[in-house]
Structure 1
Amino acid sequence: MSADRADRIHGALLGLAVGDALGLAADYHRAVRSPWVRGRLWAGSAELDEARVAKPLLPFDATTVDGARLAPTDDTETAVLAARVALTTAGTADASTRRFAEWRRLTAGDDVWTGIAERSAIINAERGLVPPVTGNDGPADASDSAVAAGVVWGLFHAGDPAASAEAATEWASITHARDGVWAAACMASAVSALAVGAPIAQALDDAEALVPADSWLAEGFRAAARIAPASVILELPRLLAELNPRRYSQPGTAPETLPIAFLLLRADGERPEQALANATLFARESDSVPAFVGALLGAAHGAEVFGEAWPAAVDRVEGVCYPALAGERVSAVAAELEASVADRATR
């Protein structure tokens, strides 16, 4: 069990990093450390728009053509940050207070780049607020940016979905509320079960059952269940129209993205390459759906489903969003999580 679990824990984090690196949004994230490039992207695109040119600029590297092209960004760093906090505070007294303090330490500084929910929570914390007020007093509490951390809490409590969901709920409440929190708990439960070999359908069903029936997230899952496509690619027009309409200017709304990810697992969970490829078809949600699908696939099947090239390509964390995490390794964090699970199991 331990070796298999270790491979699944690594697979979940590796899959998250693979999917995270695939989306176009990650290319924009990789430009945040280059002020000139970042400025040209937005100013140049505005100039082209004024000239009636329908070709906005794409992210580029002004210094080299062979840099870390596929380095993972926000989702991976969100997960690694949660893992660092989980490992640092494991077994300590007053763990909740310590976790919030560690979160504040790792997210401090002018050079940190975050999502809207995280930025709002940082500002709230600076004003003296504490969870859950830091999360529910914000404009993006239903975003999906806490779901990647849910993956970590699922791994930290591998084999105990209830404990995983509880830990993810507490953690996500720092930055989110309601659907944003329930989505993180839902992902944690699914990953926890998959990491010890639960069937995909059972793990997803049990995770969805945790979501309040009258919530926006639950309605998203019901909408996905009504479609249940035999072929994702052939039914993509309907999937996009019903599950991912052009309704919001901000991507990454948890009641849309997590149901899509679960749908893709149900459709092709036993064909990992197809499921991951299908995840990239949802262009408006490429910042998160591929990462969620990758994490679920890795938890279900282990790291080997991502072949030989991907582990080396996405193992190093660059600290694009959280500079304090630069130099972390996905594989090393996974090994530490497995060691923690094994150690706590013997107590």
Structure 2
Amino acid sequence: MEHVDVAVIGGGQSGLAAAHSLQTQGLEPVVLEASGQPAGAWPRYYDSLTLFSPARYSSLPGMPFGGDPDRYPHRDEVAAYLLRYADRLDADIRTRTRVREVCAADGGFTLGLEGGRRLSARAVVAASGTFGRPHRPELPGLDEFTGTVLHAADYRSPEPFAGQRVVVVGAGNSAVQIAAELGERARVTLSSRHPVRFARQHTLGRDLHWWLTRTGLDTLPVGRFLRTPPAQLVIDDGRYRAAVVAGAPDRRPVFRRVDGAKVTWADGSREVVDMILLATGYRPDLGYLAPLGALDERGQPRHREGVSITHPGLAYVGLEWQRSLSSNSLRGVGRDAARITRRLAAHLASS
């Protein structure tokens, strides 16, 4: 069996940031990425996706994003940036290597890989993100819906849905952005339990992220106090609020139930719908840790600011609200990676 210092599970932004930090601690990480390239989920997001943070606030440690620092990079730019970063990192990155399980063994861990291979590691960083585990809420009758049910993870562009009646479930950034672009070609309702909460992208000529950085709110360690993450704000330059006000999409409370092809709205009215798109987020994709007992009954990691409270050699990078509001973003994973790798290095030095 091959033995390594630290196995980093996931080769996207979180895994690459973790590998960089581990190298600065004198450790030799092996990055295990299930897909064919170290770019995380970025190549698989919907076609029109752009960052809500400017390029100057969207880079990993040691390598600026490049280009106009005030632009908002497109999905493909982010994927290309991550590939350049991985190449420059010069780490042992193994693509098409899916981890099936992690088990405790002799003070460290044994990783079972797809195909039957096994690997032992003194420490493990779980950086597999959330894209592999889309959240599908329990909505009455949804399983019997005779139209199309699609999660935002599988949505690419609005063209296939032109002229259709579409309901987008959700109230976050992706829900609003997808609903607005669908609203240009289809009749769309944005359906959510709570009203959409907009945040201005620019205030007094400065991007929101400038203010978050200047005030220190971006790094405030609030994650430890949050039992339930707060409702997401939709960062808006004015376009999305205007689209909702114009009714493309219109916004309604979440429907009561689905019967065949029809949805029943809160006011009792019913109508035929062609597609229900679930922009309802994701959950940590950490099923491979189940054999360790490192997860709670909901599949959530048991940790404190990214450090496992069940296994001293296990840590996480890229969890939502892991430590701060930026913990699962390009601008935040580097800070969290540096913190957890210092803890891991100290643990390995003493073991």
> Scaled by the length of structure 2, what TM-score is found?
0.27
Higher strand share: 2
Between structure 1 and structure 2, the one with the greater Rg is 2
More helix by share: 1
Report the TM-score when normalising by structure 1: 0.27
Higher relative contact order (CA 8 A, sep 6+): 1
